[in-house]
Chains A and B, each alone.
Chain A
Amino acid sequence: MSNKRTDTENLHSIYDALTDSVIGASDDEVIEEARLVGQDPTIEAGRLKAVMLASVKAYQQRALREAREAYDAQEQSSSRTSFVPGTPAERRELFSFVLAKQPQYTELFTAQHREFTDLTDDDIETYLEDLDELGILQKLTPDSDDGAE
């Protein structure tokens, strides 16, 4: 037989074929081969089963922990007191107060909206919610100490 393949290809072909032959080996053969390498087949099979199931258990525990952390974070977020007023008129009043008290936040807002003239109630609500999430409203509301940071 002529063989134009490299030594590396030849060797890998041999080992691939040998390894794949394990897949089709009979139950008796794999049990016998476990004994040949000094293993108790029953103990070894039990050990491998435990290894695989341990992976599943570790994954399930991690997934559960991550889900719990995500739930806790959501709970924490939703239970936090909102400092955004309930009516458009109150929000507009707070909005004006914030801009007067802390003009640096005006820059953040104007970067997005450029002009104050055409602001909708939704624009103002969104902006206040952003400030609220950052904890800024809590410090700036007229009822808080002095509104200063």
Chain B
Amino acid sequence: MKRESTRRVAPEKAASPAEIAAAIESLTPADFLRLGQYARHRIRILGPKAGSSVGDDLLQTAVQELLEDTRRWDKTKVGLMGFLFGAMRSISSNWAKSYAPDEVPVLETDLLRRDSEGKLINPLHSHPIGQPTAEQQLSHRQTLLEIDHLFTDDQEAQMVLAGWQEGLDPGGVRDLWGFSQNDYNTIVRRIRRTIDAANIKPDRPKEEKYVQ
């Protein structure tokens, strides 16, 4: 899969393999679990774009790119955990960009949606290269409906989900609805565990998809 260099960190500031090993050794059991869960979530976001890769592969790739100097960790600015989270996000994003899905016919009428003024728009008429395919767009809409359905009776979860869909960060969502940090954390944990339990993925393999 394609690799991309990040902004360079001066060699004297970059961590050596021995420092990397020492930093790994110093992580707590909860840190390892957190890294593993983050990797698993990012792979889940990729769906079929992850190919045969699993969370371990993403985590290993992040460590390898650090060792091979494809990415440099400025240990004076960020901890190993912060570096690895950023690296996994970037790597998985690159994997998604390099994914070339097989085309599957989708009815154009299934893709029609209404804009904010209620006017019907067809995403295919403004589909730039690199954007989701028609099949993916349909899958994304269905996934959103499934998530919405999971929280029909959970108004707080709906409020947080709505905030995220507006592109708000956690602080923005808390401000919007007046949630305390603890309230917000509790709601997010509930959302995460519910979606985990339902095993809903944003891009599902074709055999699970809508049949024409």
> Which of A39-47, A105-113, A137-145 faces chain B?
A39-47
In the complex, per-residue mask of B12-50: 1 if CB is within 8 Å of any chain A CB, else 0: 000001001100110111101111111001101100000
Given A37-B196, A48-B36, A8 and B140 touching (CB < 8 A)?
A: yes
Minimum Cβ distance to chain B for residue A7 (Å): 4
Contacts of B20 on A, CB cut-off 8 Å? 56
In the complex, per-residue mask of A48-59: 1 if CB is within 8 Å of any chain B CB, else 0: 110111011001
Question: How far apart are the CA atoms of A41 and B106 in the complex, in Å?
Answer: 43
> Which of A31, A49, A60 has the most B CB atoms < 10 Å from its CB?
A49
How many chain B residues touch A (Cβ–Cβ < 8 Å)? 59
Q: Which of B58-73 contact A (CB under 8 A)?
A: 59-60, 63-64, 67-68
Q: Is the CB of B85 within 8 A of A8?
A: no
Pick the contact of A13: B36, B63, B143, B165 (CB < 8 A). B165
Contacts of A24 on B, CB cut-off 8 Å? 170, 185
Q: Is the CB of B17 within 8 A of A59?
A: yes
Q: Is the CB of A10 within 8 A of B144?
A: yes
- What is the number of contacts between chain A and chain B, taking CB atoms within 8 Å? 152
> Which of B1-9, B97-105, B186-194 faces chain A?
B186-194
How many chain A residues touch B (Cβ–Cβ < 8 Å)? 48
Q: Does A27 contact B (CB under 8 A)?
A: yes
Q: Is the CB of B36 within 8 A of A44?
A: yes
Q: Does A3 contact B (CB under 8 A)?
A: yes
Which residue in chain A gives the minimum CB-CB distance to B191? A18
**Measuring CB to CB, which residues of chain B are less than 8 angstroms from any residue of chain A?**
17, 20-21, 24-25, 27-30, 32-38, 41-42, 44-45, 56, 59-60, 63-64, 67-68, 81, 85, 113, 115-116, 123, 131-132, 136-137, 140-141, 143-144, 147, 161-162, 164-167, 170, 185, 188-189, 191-193, 195-197, 202
